[in-house]
Structure 1
Amino acid sequence: MIRSALVFTLCGVALAATLPAAQAQTPPAADPAARATALFTSLDRNRDGFLDIGELEASELTVALERGSRGATPQGGPSRAELEGLPPAQRFLRLLDRNNDRRISRSEFMSAVAAR
C-alpha cells in the first residue's frame, strides 16, 4: 500500500521532470496506469524492460524519490532501518524490487501501482 502510494506520488512529479518536451502527449491524470507506463518507459533508457540503479540515478527522478520515499516501509519489504542512509535511487530500488535481482521489472513497477 505504501509502495503504491509512493509510485503514484512520484508519477506526477517525475513524469513532468523527465518528459518536459512531451507534455502534450502525457496521459490524462485520470489514467494512473498510463502515466505509470509512460514514466517507466521514460526511465528505461536502454529499453530492456527493467530499471537498474544506473537508470534511476541518471534520471531527474532522484529529487522526487528523496521526497516520496522518506519513511516508506511497505509490508513485506525492507525495514525502515534497511532503508536509512541509502541514496534515493537505491531506496526506491529496494522498495520496488520484489525478487531482489537489483532491477525493477515493468511488472514489479506496475504491481506497485496496481496495489493502490
Structure 2
Amino acid sequence: MSRGKQMLRKLGHAVREVAKEGAEESARAYYFNVYDRGFNEAAQTCLGVLSDATEELLARMKSGNLSKQEQALYARLTELTAEMDERLRNACQKEPTGDALPQPSGARSGQPTRLS
C-alpha cells in the first residue's frame, strides 16, 4: 500500500473515531438531561404531596378546628417537608456515578458515564 493511501486510511480512521466520540458524548449529555428533568419532577411530586397535606391542616388550624393530635401531625409534616427538601437538594447536587445509572444504548462498558 502506498504511503498516501496509508495516510488517508489513518485520517479516515481518526475522523470516524472523533465522530463516534462526539456522538457518544451527545448521547450521554441527552441522557443526563433527561435524568435531571425526571429527578426534578419526582422531587416536586414528593414535596407537593407533603405540601398539600400541610396546607390542608394549616387551613383547618386557621379556622380553629385542629385537635392537639392534628397540630402534632402538622408540626411533623412541616419538619418532614424541610428535611426532604434538604435531602433532595443535596442528592441533586451530587453527580450520579456510572454504577448508579444505566448507560445510554451504544455506550461501551468500562467507559466513563459522564465526561468532565
Q: Common fold, TM-score beyond 0.5?
A: no
**Which protein is richer in strand relative to its size?**
1
Q: Which TM-score applies when normalising by structure 2?
A: 0.23
**Which protein is richer in helix relative to its size?**
2
Q: Which TM-score applies when normalising by structure 1?
A: 0.23
